[in-house]
Amino acid sequence: MARPLTLLLVRHGQSEWNAAGLMQGQTPHVPLTELGHAQAAAAARELALLCPGALLSSDLVRAVQTAEHCARATGLPVETTPALREQGYGLLEGRPSRELWDVVDWTDPHWAADGGESLAELHGRVAAFLKELCAEPPADVIALVTHGDTIRAAQAVAAGLGADAMPVVTPHNGTVTRLEICE
């Protein structure tokens, strides 16, 4: 039986689009705000105390900027991967988040916006990534800098739940969530 693998899931700090109330999804260029950098620095300090042996990040700017804070605090190099990206919202990206309540079918894990990704697809992407990570872990404790929906998907995968049973609570920006996986 494989040893448990500890994942330290870091949600990126507040981005300019978080502050403006806009749907980000996989929009690549959205940077952190000043508050976001402060949140990222605080998360990095917390992360350093947990002694990860590897640091992986989504390749979207807001996550990479957060991961850079984590790299400085831990002394680890950052490896980026598209597998840790946020759920893609396609044509809805850049629109005010409040408008989405009238458009998105939150009860259907297979619903996706035009050009976007469903929760089921996100869950599948994250499950495949975590399976690969468990097969060849770069360390026993791994920091993953990522996004809210991606963290919820990882929590579901670790608990053996499907896309229809993902946690509803999204961790706050700049927080660290600990998961044990591969038991």
First to last CA, the chain: 7
Q: Which of 97, 71, 66, 99 has its CA nearest to residue 84?
A: 66
Q: Which of 86, 93, 117, 147 is catalytic?
A: 86
Determine which one of 12, 69, 123, 147 is catalytic: 12
Strands 141-146 and 78-81: unpaired
CB atoms within 10 A of CB 136: 6
Active site residue 34: no
Give helix then strand counts, H and E, for the chain: 5, 5
12 is catalytic: yes
Cite the active site residues: 12, 86
